[in-house]
Amino acid sequence: MAEETYPPFKIAKIEISKTISRRQHFQRVHKKLLNHKDVIFEALQQLESDWAGFCFVKILFCNADESCNFTEAYCKTMRNVQEKNPAGRRIVWIPDLFDVALLKSFLDNEDVEEQILDKHLVAFEKLGQFLDTVEDTNKILQNELKIESIKEGRWASIFGTHVLKMLAVYDQMKIDSGYCELSTECPCGCKKPINIDDNSMGHEEVWHGSVDILLGPTCIEVFNSYQGDEDDFLESSNSAFERKRGKLENSQNQLISESITFAFAMRGGVVPLIGISKSSFIIYMYDPDDDLLYESTSMPLFLDSVKGRQLHFSSVVALWIAINHSYFFKGVQASHVEFGYKANLQNFLGEEQHEIYQKHIRMGGLRHVNSNVVEFKAGMNKGKFKRF
């Protein structure tokens, strides 16, 4: 039976004159990126180091089998990096999953013209355009960061419009209509249009709900207040897994349930779910075929400099590569499957729910579905409980 798949995504329109040959396009993009060579090399060097990485997540207990909104989902988890046996504490570095080297070879002017497809050129050009105007973007974000209690919807609109969408090869960015404070224009005053839509997904009988931003085949969930996690990133460079976890971790129930549901909604293929706060971001990727759940370290969005808070370039490149993952994802490595640190999602699903996840998860139309699970406090007992 042919299942409904998510509609294909339009590639961003980048003005390429019809008279320009591929060779000329190649050279134009190359020249553009060379203007930012030092910055990009530094970022790539960091992404190839232990600055950030992924671990595997195992579910110990969850309510994926219940009719439950993402905001009420719970998911008790364990990471392979927490295992007692050191042999199990292995980390997946970014170049193991994404073809970071391609950008490097392109910049180095290696003989890679054959390897670099038109779609890569479009992605490289987007990165170049972003870096051309990054000073202006920094100013816009700095102004927003001055607002003490910036609303989630405003931050989603502004960060989405000026950073995420600008890095993406996809034309479509949809902000969830659940934000009551949203307007159809970017709230920073630039008047760029905002596309507000129904970003719900899932199924009535299992996990479902809305994600804040849908950008091509990437989901982004935005969180507002993470006071306290900023200090983590002001420390001098230390290895990724020594770094304290940001408060994004507190939202992991929601992020994991969205990541798993989104992966099923996309029907095969590993797709990222990015959780973003005002100071950091984290990436989850679930592979439904091999039942592997990758979780990245939390990466800083900004660096403090004499010019004020500036976007962290390594993070910008990491975001760019994650958003445009369909161009750079190398696929789940056989060694990761053999390593066998599975999420074990199936252990928590009956036959019926298993079939729902496999065949009936859908995009849209789930905004008004009630959750069967509620947050409840009774005396000493506080938690998420199922309704009668």
Question: Given the rule CB under 5 A, which of 126-134, 184-192, 205-213, 307-315 is the region that contacts Zn ion?
Answer: 184-192
Pick 186 or 311: Cβ nearer Zn ion: 186
Pick 188 or 303: Cβ nearer Zn ion: 188
Nearest to 326 by CA among 105, 98, 35: 98
CA gap 388, 386 in Å, rounded: 7
Shortest approach of Zn ion to residue 213 CB, angstroms?
Answer: 15
Q: Decide if residue 186 touches Zn ion (CB under 5 A).
A: yes
Among 190, 227, 235, 268, binds Zn ion (CB under 5 A): 190
Q: Decide if residue 117 touches Zn ion (CB under 5 A).
A: no
Pick 120 or 165: Cβ nearer Zn ion: 165
Q: Decide if residue 123 touches Zn ion (CB under 5 A).
A: no
Pick 16 or 188: Cβ nearer Zn ion: 188
299-300 and 292-296 strand pairing = unpaired
One character per residue 141-180, x = contact with Zn ion (rule: CB under 5 A): ----------------------------------------
Question: Given the rule CB under 5 A, which of 80-88, 189-197, 243-251, 356-364 is the region that contacts Zn ion?
Answer: 189-197
Nearest to 80 by CA among 60, 99, 63, 50: 60
CA gap 295, 283 in Å, rounded: 6
Pick 60 or 190: Cβ nearer Zn ion: 190
Q: How many residues bind Zn ion (CB under 5 A)?
A: 3
CA gap 294, 286 in Å, rounded: 6
Burial 193-204 (b: 16+ CB within 10 A, else e): ebebebbbbbbe
Question: Given the rule CB under 5 A, which of 50-58, 68-76, 77-85, 185-193 is the region that contacts Zn ion?
Answer: 185-193
Pick 20 or 190: Cβ nearer Zn ion: 190
Shortest approach of Zn ion to residue 274 CB, angstroms?
Answer: 20
Pick 126 or 154: Cβ nearer Zn ion: 154
Bridge partners of residue 252, in order along the sequence: none
CA gap 174, 184 in Å, rounded: 11
Any idea which residue has 């479509």 for tokens? Answer: 172
Question: Given the rule CB under 5 A, which of 147-155, 187-195, 251-259, 296-304 is the region that contacts Zn ion?
Answer: 187-195
Any idea which residue has 């995504």 for tokens? Answer: 9
Q: Decide if residue 188 touches Zn ion (CB under 5 A).
A: yes
Chain CA centroid to CA 111, Å: 32
- First and final C-alpha spacing in the chain: 36
Shortest approach of Zn ion to residue 193 CB, angstroms?
Answer: 10
Measured between alpha carbons, how far is residue 234 from residues 224, 282, 299 in Å? 19, 17, 11
> What is the contact surface with Zn ion in residues (CB under 5 A)?
186, 188, 190
